[in-house]
Amino acid sequence: MPEKRIVLKNCQVIDPRDIYTYLEYDGFKALTQALGMTPEAVIAEVKASGLRGRGGAGFPCGLKWELARKSSGVEKYLICNADEGEVGTFKDRYILQHDPFTLIEAMAIAAYAISVKQAFIYLRAEYHYLLEGLLDAIEQVKAKGFLAHLNIEIREGGGAYICGEESALMDSIEGKRGEARFKPPYPPSKGLWGKPTIINNVETLMNIPAILLNGARWFNQIGTDKSKGTKVFSVSGDVARPGVCEFVMGSRLDEIVVDWANARDIKMVQVGGATGGIIPYSMIKTPLAFETVLGSGAVTVFDKSRDTLDFVSRTVEFLAEESCGKCTPCREGTEVMLEILGRLTRGDGQQEDIQTLEELSNVMSLSSLCGLGQAASIPVMDTLKYFRNEYETRIKQSVFLRSLRGQQWQ
Partner 1 sequence: MPRKVKVRGREYLLALLREEQEKAGYISEQFIEQTAKSIDLSISEVYGVATFYHLLSTRPLGRNVIHVCKCIPCCLKSSQLVVETIQEKLGIVPGETTLDGRISLQLINCIGACDQAPAMLLNHELHGSLTPAKIAQILEACP
Region of 109-117, 175-183, 203-211, 393-401 interacting with partner 1 (CB under 8 A): 175-183
The partner residues of 298 in beta bridges, in order of sequence, read 234
Task: Name which of residues 16 to 55 contact partner 1 (CB under 8 A).
Answer: none
Region of 1-9, 321-329, 339-347, 380-388 interacting with partner 1 (CB under 8 A): 321-329
The partner residues of 300 in beta bridges, in order of sequence, read 236, 270
Region of 29-37, 124-132, 279-287, 330-338 interacting with partner 1 (CB under 8 A): 124-132
- Rule CB under 8 A: say whether 311 interacts with partner 1: yes
State the nearest-atom distance from the C-beta of 149 to partner 1, in Å: 22
Neighbours of 119 (CB within 10 A): 22
- For helices 353-367 and 388-404, what crossing angle results, to 10°? 130
Each residue of 190-218: b (16+ CB within 10 Å) or e? bbbeebbbbbbbbbbbbbbbbbbeeebee
Task: Name which of residues 193 to 252 contact partner 1 (CB under 8 A).
Answer: 193, 234-238, 242-244
CA atoms of 229 and 221, how far apart (whole Å): 8
Choice between 16 and 223, CB closer to partner 1: 16
State the nearest-atom distance from the C-beta of 61 to partner 1, in Å: 23
Region of 202-210, 317-325, 345-353, 362-370 interacting with partner 1 (CB under 8 A): 317-325
Q: Considering only CA atoms, which of 106, 116, 110 is closest in space to residue 77?
A: 116
- Rule CB under 8 A: say whether 322 interacts with partner 1: yes
Choice between 51 and 170, CB closer to partner 1: 170
Contact predicate 122/169, CB 8 Å: yes
Contact predicate 313/337, CB 8 Å: no
Contact predicate 371/166, CB 8 Å: no
- Rule CB under 8 A: say whether 100 interacts with partner 1: no
Residue from 5, 177, 252, 331 that binds partner 1 (CB under 8 A)? Answer: 177
CA atoms of 89 and 99, how far apart (whole Å): 17
Classify the phi-psi angles of 12: left when phi > 0, otherwise alpha if psi is within -120 to 50, otherwise beta.
left
Return residues touching partner 1 (CB under 8 A). 84-90, 92-93, 124-129, 155-161, 172-178, 193, 234-238, 242-244, 270, 274, 298, 300, 302, 306, 311, 314-315, 318, 321-322, 324
